[in-house]
Amino acid sequence: MARIELDGFDELNKLLESMTISEEDEKKSISAALEPVKKEVEKNTPEGKTRKLKASVKTKVGKEDGQVIGKVILDEYYGRFQEYGTSTQNKNVGFFARSIRKSKGEAMKVLKAELLTRLK
């Protein structure tokens, strides 16, 4: 019967266990990764007369169900109407979704770099 022995898994396991990131570092990393997304959303947000919608773009980082998550939100109630249209408008502007898709790659690069610098 053939047999293969591999050494070094104890050291690898210790190394992986020592690579921890605190919750605070996770939040800071996610917050940094949301910045390119926020800038892209602000750039593509329709201005209108009051320009309140563009000023209402915010980021939130928090904990839900034991996981650290980040959100980019429009704080004005009519933002959803601009994004999805209305029954009379029947027009999907889609600026928010397009902005998210466009900046997703940059956000992942920033998140990866931030997490690697914060590894202990």
| pLDDT tens per residue across span 55-64 | 999 999 999 9
Integer Cα distance of 55 and 53 in angstroms:
5
pLDDT digits (tens, 9 = 90+) for 14-51: 776 777 788 898 899 999 999 999 999 999 988 878 88
For residues 84-89, average pLDDT: 80
What is the predicted pLDDT for the residue at 83? 81
Domain boundaries, the chain: 22-118
* C-alpha separations of 37 from 44, 62, 117 in Å: 11, 17, 21
pLDDT of 87 reads 79
Give yes or no for residue 4 having a pLDDT over 70: no
